[in-house]
Amino acid sequence: MRTAARMNRMKLGRMLILSVIAALLLVAPACVTGPSSGFLFSKTKFAGEINPSNEVSASVSAEGCQHQILGLVAIGEAGAGQIARDNDIRRIATVDHSSLNVLIMLYRNYCTIVTGEK
């Protein structure tokens, strides 16, 4: 009888683990940044903001990225203001974005591309 109870607990534990994994696989794609995403791989570029005055030329471009590994570690700077400041862009013309995802959570990056004038 003890063996049957132990087997039932092991089955319950396995089912719980599989349920958690299945839930993560269903929810994780919703967390992917960008207009579209693939389960195995995606690489996208998408529009951000445009200077409404249209008086600023896009003569200089700079990029800043955030990188994430296994959903555990994230590093980087992707703020448009900081990118402009670090690259001496005085007037911003456009702010665009790109993202790269490999196996949803294995590796992800999110980049901000700033164009403008020095």
Q: What is the pLDDT of residue 11?
A: 83
CA separation (Å) from 3 to 14, 17, 98? 16, 21, 55
Q: Are residues 26 and 57 in the same domain?
A: no
What does each of the 118 residues of the chain score in pLDDT, given as a tens digit?
567 777 777 888 888 888 888 776 666 555 555 666 777 888 889 888 777 777 888 889 999 999 999 888 999 999 999 999 999 999 999 999 999 989 877 898 999 999 999 8
Q: Which pTM was predicted?
A: 0.69
Q: What is the pLDDT of residue 2?
A: 67
Q: Are residues 22 and 45 in the same domain?
A: no
Q: Are residues 37 and 26 in the same domain?
A: no
| Tokens standing for residue 40 | 């195995």
Residue 45 three-state SS: strand
Q: Are residues 108 and 59 in the same domain?
A: yes
Q: What is the pLDDT of residue 63?
A: 96
Q: How many domains, the chain?
A: 2
Domain span at residue 1 reads: 1-31
Q: What is the pLDDT of residue 112?
A: 95
Q: Are residues 2 and 45 in the same domain?
A: no
> What is the sign, positive or negative, of the torsion defined by CA atoms of 10, 18, 74, 106?
positive
Q: What is the C-alpha separation between 106 and 70, in angstroms, rounded? A: 4
Q: Are residues 48 and 2 in the same domain?
A: no
Q: What is the pLDDT of residue 114?
A: 95
Q: What is the C-alpha separation between 112 and 78, in angstroms, rounded? A: 5
